[in-house]
Amino acid sequence: MKKISRRSVLPILGAGLFAPFIARSVSALPDVSTNLQFPHALSKGELVGICSPAGANHDPKEVSDFITLLENFGYRVKVSGNLQSKFGYLSDTDEARAKAFMDLIHDQEVKAIFFTRGGWGCARILPLLDFNAIQKNPKIILGFSDISAFLVAITHKTGLITFHGPNGNASWGAFSWDSIQKTIALGEFSTLVNDDPLRYPSPPVCIRSGSARGTLYGGNLSVLTGLLGTEYLPEWKGKILFLEEVNEEPYRIDRMLTQWKLNGVFEQLEGVVIGQFRKCIAEDPKWSFTLEEVLNQHFKDAKFPVFSGFLCGHIADKFTLPIGQLVEMNADAFSITPMRASVTLL
């Protein structure tokens, strides 16, 4: 396994994209994005809807600050009716949370839907969503953490590109905001790679060398593991899987990755990108593998390229990733490159 250093980043980025790889050729797959639906780019002055389909909002100021933030960025904001409600650890009943989201889908003036926070609850309301209506009313849908359940299910069921990016209670600093704007407003699709290795909470590591092309799917490991075997995840042939996690001990990460392996997913993938696994350390390290050891055990002999440390997950600075998009990953350069714009420009 090799780690990146400040002195090695430029040679890697310069030569790694063209070096011979032990993994499969990037041209081996057809362009599988032809049946996808691309939402319209989000312009200043347009209406953004926000809702809470998962956990309850613990701090009202987080919600008001998020509204102010979006308004300062030049957007108008429509608030769903459940931002200040509470139903146990959920923001509202299953029916009410599903209705709040679908009301924003049906509102023709709403061009994008963002979320206040994750937590838990999105998977509970997947059977209550009207995927036909979502397909007929395409708009930008952006979030992460528990929202991963929405994103992958909507893309799988409708073909609509969705976006893995910050929730309202996450950081919307310059790095994250720049990636959001380039992806959903400007329609840019340049290579996503960190040009400052010190920005990474966990430095990037090439676990299995190579480059591959496939359809990008992924999100929070715990959330997506809970959907294995359901109708809300895609077939995994031809996919590049990205994963992120927070506050899970290495043995739990091991258990979840084993479940993916036993479901046959790893036999079908074209590549794996491990994002930031923040605070995933053992309570008693002397009786545990490290996270790096667990990842190495699962992927060092993979038949596809794998790297860890990508900038996505429960961290301040993160890329916005288009779920359902055809991308090329490069495990030696620690990069993901979309093959086209993920929004349509008016």
Q: Catalogue the active-site residues.
A: 145, 244, 314
Largest CA distance in the chain: 57
- Tokens, residue 270: 């074209």
Residues 6 or more apart whose CB falls under 8 angstroms from that of 242 comprise 164, 216, 217, 218, 219, 272, 273, 274, 275, 310, 312, 321, 336
Residue 321 burial (CB < 10 Å; 0-12/13-18/19+)? buried
Per the listing, tokens 């040679």 go with 11
Sequential DSSP letters for 75-108: -EEEE-TTTT--BTTBSS-HHHHHHHHHHHHH-T
The burial of 109, by beta-carbon neighbours within 10 Å (0-12 exposed, 13-18 middle, 19 or more buried), is given as: exposed
Edge-first strand order for the sheet with 47-51 is 76-79, 47-51, 110-115, 140-143, 162-164, 321-323
Find residue 249's DSSP bridge partners.
none
What is the spatial distance between Cα 304 and Cα 309, in angstroms, rounded to a whole number? 17
